[in-house]
Amino acid sequence: MSHAAVEQNARPIVSDPVPQDLYRLLMLGKAGAEILVACERPPFTLPCVEIPRWERVAENLIEAVRKRYGISAICLFAPEPSDDTIAGEQPFYQVMEIREARTVVLDAMRWRPLASLSDRSFADKQDLSAITNMLRQIDGIQSGETIGPFAKPGWIEEFFSWAQRETEPYGLHLTGKFRQFNASPTFSLIRFETNGAAVWFKAVGEPNLREFSISIALAGLFPGFVPTVIATHPTWNGWLTTEFAGSTLGEGADLSSWERAASTLADLQIASIGKENELVQAGCRDLRVSWLLAQVDPFIEMASQLMQKQPKIPPPILSRQELLWLGQQIKDALSAQAEIDVPDTLGHLDFNPGNILFSRNQSVFLDWAEACVGLPFPTLQYLLEHLRQSAAFSNVDPERLVDRYSATWLSRLTLQQYAASQKMRPLLAVFACAAASDWNAAFRSAGGRFAGYLRSLTRRMQREAEELLVNRTHL
């Protein structure tokens, strides 16, 4: 609505309130043997805060605790629900560790030894159940029965000692201030301030373990295209990088920034030619033409069975005959790519604006859990798809991105090679995305959302194959 319309209606615009989630906090002392409760005597309640729904939990909880209670804390993990809990009935809980000294106590707040708690300690018995589950998880990690270094109280102090040793050769000193973005037993993403440039610590667990080895390999092979790694912590599958002074491409970037990202992507891919085996050994998915060709028939068979189990119409159900035709079109496109002899390169199956940082003169690429080796051009297609769905689409012409990307690649390919390959880019981009997914899991749970997603991708492939056939006919 325009300002004129607001004045005409003579009524203010009241935006809908942001939905909030209430979290009950299991706030441990630094030794991990005591918990902060919100009453002076039993029955106790737990400290609690509200944070915006659908936003980063760890970051918002830390800020809410700082504002409400005036203390610094770090998120550890969300305790597992009890076996007898009915889905959707348990409150949200988060285990946190207070980083101040043990003496921090607010009005009507008391430290209680965890060992002193009983069935009558809390007004809501779910609170004690959450504490019991928390202790069980921590005991499992400390005994080595389960993996989860970031669920263990005191890990952040261990991190500071390690990080300070690793950053000293660079003249950096951690100030103690940080922003925690992700928190779980096996994943971590935190930004730490120093006396100079900030540093970022990222650690990964299953199913993204490959991102650790890939990130280290890319930093060594392609400096300047990815964040600079200054230290690794293999036990935690974590690495420390210097901060790139820029913004993500999705944060109000102009046309030139999008164009530079496309051009830099082409530069990186060309630089990766000849390094395919190193990249696969580092953990990149092998999506070269020979592998993709081997996936066509089993994928089409799976898609045929998923279509038969589609619960409603619309969307349309593709017949087996239509799917067999689609499979042949994919095979023909892959075979044509092999004949064109476009080199295999590094690719990124999740190439979106949030994974691209830009400054005035540079772009770097993040989050390589979905790195792959294979045809180069599908990665550009993924960026174009995200552009069409973003607010920047009205100001950024996709063809300008394609032109900048093309100009770089035409230093390596003939115009005929490049043009022939580009015609097949949309179809093969969708198939590569589908083939690289765990589509067997979708088949095992044919009624799930992922199964619907794969049916949608298959219909998209059908449309792209038909469009490709029309273009061939008009040549």
* Residue 156, token pair as written in the block: 């952040």
Query: For residues 474 and 29, which has the higher predicted lDDT (pLDDT)?
Result: 29
In tens, the pLDDT along 219-230 reads: 999 999 999 999
Q: Give phi and psi for 330, each to the nearest 5.
A: -65, -45
Give the pLDDT band of residue 11 (cuts 50, 70, 90): very low
| The CATH number of the domain covering residues in 155-242 | 3.30.200
Return the amino acid letter for 457. Answer: L
Per-residue pLDDT averaged across 286-310, rounded?
95
Overall pTM > 0.85: yes
Q: Classify the phi-psi angles of 89: left when phi > 0, otherwise alpha if psi is within -120 to 50, otherwise beta.
A: alpha
Return the amino acid letter for 57. Answer: V
Return the amino acid letter for 124. Answer: D
In tens, the pLDDT along 35-56 reads: 999 888 889 999 999 999 989 9
- Architecture of the domain spanning 247-473: Alpha-Beta Complex (3.90)
pLDDT value at residue 13: 43
Count of residues for the chain?
475
- Architecture of the domain spanning 20-146: Alpha-Beta Complex (3.90)
> 3-class DSSP state for residue 110?
strand
Please state the separation of Cα 112 from the chain's center in Å: 38
Same fold, 20-146 and 247-473: no
pLDDT value at residue 89: 66
Find the helix or strand (DSSP H, E) in which 127 lies: helix 125-142
User: 369, 350 in Cβ contact below 8 A?
Assistant: yes
Cα(371)–Cα(351) distance, integer angstroms: 9
User: 382, 372 in Cβ contact below 8 A?
Assistant: no
How do 34-37 and 188-194 pair as beta strands? unpaired
* Residue 453, token pair as written in the block: 């997603």
Q: What count of other Cβ atoms lies within 10 Å of the Cβ of residue 359?
A: 13
Give the pLDDT band of residue 119 (cuts 50, 70, 90): confident
Cα(223)–Cα(267) distance, integer angstroms: 12
On the question of pLDDT at 3 being above 60, the answer is no
Domain ranges within the chain, ordered by starting residue: 20-146, 155-242, 247-473
On the question of pLDDT at 88 being above 60, the answer is no
